[in-house]
């Protein structure tokens, strides 16, 4: 892995492992590396290999949870952090909680500080509009910018944890067990999420980016902001669509040529029109 290139993408220099350095890594990652499903809409298949994902991050792209948390776990391990991967399940609003493997969760241990003497942290750069910094793996309520999160024992994963998102967030919550896992646990679900016609990732383009004051989201052609102020607009022109990707989400798509850009715009626009028609 190109560790130096990865750190340049984050705008950071290498530092010894510490709780403060972990917070800086996490915040830089969610601010500079977007949660995005563009590879699906560009018909560019991906795997759950963390090194493949890390190479895309170095090259200026992002991904969704398997890619972002996978790449971050490889980076943090290379920097000397004690990282463990876990199987999780993100629950949409109105859905049932469960450990479905639709999410890769990370914990980092061995970094105690006054507010977290146990030294264990929930680390997740793949939740889109959720965490800006790691959370102490301690039950409680936590504020990050305009959002309030909860962390408590899971009711569906014995010995595991439940993360409750802010009520204005894009999903209800996340459950995960503490057993370590390898990336093969996510292969089947990744295939389903990235190819099935019933997958939300296949049906609607999703791009999100978190910062200290809130989160930006692009779903199809609807661009929205949630935070200290909230608003949404529809991007009716291809130029506006690509400008938003570059300026708001740090995705200039330098790896996408003119022909593929035209195809992508037509696909997203067609899906948006189908959504407006109730399809």
SS (H, E, C) the chain: CCHHHHHHHHCCCCCCCCHHHHHHHHHHHHHHCCEECHHHHCCCCCCCCHHHHHHHHHCCCCECHHHHHHHHHHHHHHCCCEEEEEEEEEECCCCCCCCCCCEEEEEEECCCECCECCCCEEECCCCCCCCCCCEECCCEEEEECCEEEEEEECCCCCCCEEEECCCCCCCCEEEECCCCCCHHHHHHHHHHHHHCCCCHHHHCCEEEEEECCEEEEEECCEEEEEECCCEEEECCCHHHHHHHHHHCCCCCCCCCCHHHHHHHHHHHHHHHHHHHCCC
- Residue at token pair 């290999």: 49
User: Domains in the chain, ordered, with CATH?
Assistant: 197-276 (3.30.2140.10)
Which residues, 6+ apart, have CB-to-CB distance to 273 below 8 Å?
Answer: none
pTM reported for the whole predicted model: 0.96
CA distance 72 to 92: 24
* Helices 258-276/238-247 angle, 10° precision: 110
Closest CA to 120 of 102, 138, 101: 138
- Residue 276 pLDDT: 86
Residues of the chain with pLDDT under 70: 279
Give pLDDT, residue 277.
Answer: 86
Question: Can you give the pLDDT at residue 227?
Answer: 85
Which pLDDT score is estimated for 279?
A: 64
pLDDT tens, residue by residue, 186-201: 999 999 999 999 999 9
């Amino acid at each position: 892995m190109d560790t130096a290139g990865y750190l340049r993408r984050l705008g950071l220099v290498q530092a010894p492992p510490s709780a403060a350095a972990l917070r800086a890594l996490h915040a830089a990652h969610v601010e500079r590396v977007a949660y995005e499903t563009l590879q699906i809409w560009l018909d560019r298949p991906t795997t759950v290999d963390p090194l493949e994902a890390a190479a895309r991050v170095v090259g200026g792209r992002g991904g969704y949870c398997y890619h972002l948390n996978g790449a971050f776990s490889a980076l943090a391990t290379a920097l000397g952090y004690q990282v463990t991967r876990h199987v999780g399940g993100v629950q949409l609003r109105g859905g049932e909680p469960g450990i479905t493997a639709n999410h890769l969760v990370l914990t980092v241990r061995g970094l105690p500080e006054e507010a977290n003497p146990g030294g264990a942290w929930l680390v997740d750069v793949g939740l889109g509009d959720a965490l800006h910094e790691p959370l102490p793996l301690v039950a409680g309520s936590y504020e990050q910018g305009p959002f309030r999160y909860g962390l408590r024992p899971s009711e569906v994963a014995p010995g595991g944890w439940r993360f409750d998102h802010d009520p204005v967030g894009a999903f209800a919550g996340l459950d995960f067990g503490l057993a370590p896992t390898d990336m093969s646990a996510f292969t089947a679900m990744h295939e389903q999420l990235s190819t099935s016609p019933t997958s939300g990732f296949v049906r609607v383009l999703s791009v999100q980016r978190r910062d200290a004051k809130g989160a930006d989201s692009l779903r199809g052609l609807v661009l929205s902001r949630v935070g200290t102020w909230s608003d949404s607009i529809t991007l009716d022109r291809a130029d506006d669509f690509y400008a938003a990707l570059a300026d708001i989400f740090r995705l200039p798509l330098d790896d996408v040529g003119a022909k593929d850009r035209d195809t992508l715009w037509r696909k997203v626009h067609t899906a948006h029109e189908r959504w407006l028609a109730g399809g």
